[in-house]
Amino acid sequence: MDVPVAANVLGTLGAVCWSVQLIPQIIINYRRHNATGLQPSMMMFWAWAGVPLGVYNITSAFNIALRVQPQILSCLSLITWIQVYYYEKKWSVYRSLLVVVPIACCMAGIELGLIFALRHGKEKGIDWPQTLMAVLAAVFLACGVLAHYWDIYTHKTVRNISFTFCFIDAMGDLTSLISVFFQPRLDVLGIVIYGVELVLWLGIFACGGYYNLRPWLSEKRSSATRHGSENTREGTGEGVPLHDMPSSTSAFSTSSANMEASGLRDRHTATSSQA
């Protein structure tokens, strides 16, 4: 289905979503001067995912938005990655730039070289390198999200992951996926690249419903029943207390940071009780 306008609009929305999800995280890290809970491995996986994804999208003659999208992903992921070392490892600005700039230049050089190599290969009818780029892009994107699955398996919770930002990322995958359908030629590998990460994000939401939402609703119902009985006995008009859902100021952080925050809350509660 060849609809250039729809392909460009949807591709642009995908690029915007992928930008929006990381820019707030970068700003949050800067304002609070820490990157507690962020997984540098996730950011690096996404940064490298932009290389084969950029090669594939450009050599496949995708719309402009989908060609630019991987460059945005790599750039913002690298910035977020180096923030972890700058704020958490106390690296100096000079050391941070000395590390991240060569990595960025290396990524750009590899991507540019692969683009010319794959175009030359396509002219000779060699298609397997392009398939390899699609596979690598899908694997790197998936590895970034799979880090959360290990966290969920270990701690049996989806705490300290911002579902708002996860939703934005998933929307970026979805709009990019639909954009591929509007290309002149249906690209199965392009569908796989964006579809794999979208499915993994949906799995995160499903785990959140099982580990977070279900117990929260159960506790709320129990609390309502308990306070209703107390109000009936005592004739008071007290309402049902509110329970905050787990949240985080980090867009993509691990449960370890949330456990630390829980410890601080417990100590604060103990202090208040002694007072």
Q: What is the DSSP letter of 62?
A: -
Sole residue written with tokens 């990381």: 22
Q: Place 127 in a pLDDT band, splitting at 50, 70 and 90.
A: confident
Given a cut of 90, whether residue 3 has pLDDT beyond it is: no
Q: Place 260 in a pLDDT band, splitting at 50, 70 and 90.
A: very low
Distances (CA, A) of 244 to 72, 108, 167, 257: 34, 44, 19, 17
Average pLDDT over residues 205-230: 77
Average pLDDT over residues 160-170: 76
Taking phi over 0 as left and psi of -120 to 50 as alpha, with beta for the rest, 157 belongs to: beta
> For position 220, what pLDDT does the model report?
77
> For position 267, what pLDDT does the model report?
45
Reduced to 3 states (helix: H, G, I; strand: E, B; else coil), residue 34 is coil
pLDDT higher at 43 or 274: 43
Task: Answer whether 55's CB lies under 8 Å from 122's CB.
Answer: no
Task: Answer whether 70's CB lies under 8 Å from 93's CB.
Answer: no
Question: The dihedral of CA 149, 153, 155, 158: what is its sign?
Answer: positive
Kindly state the tokens that stand for 273.
């009780």
Distances (CA, A) of 37 to 16, 88, 236: 25, 10, 43
Give the residue among 142, 261, 250 at the shortest CA–CA distance from 204.
142
> For position 158, what pLDDT does the model report?
74
Phi, psi of 184 (to 5 degrees): -55, -35
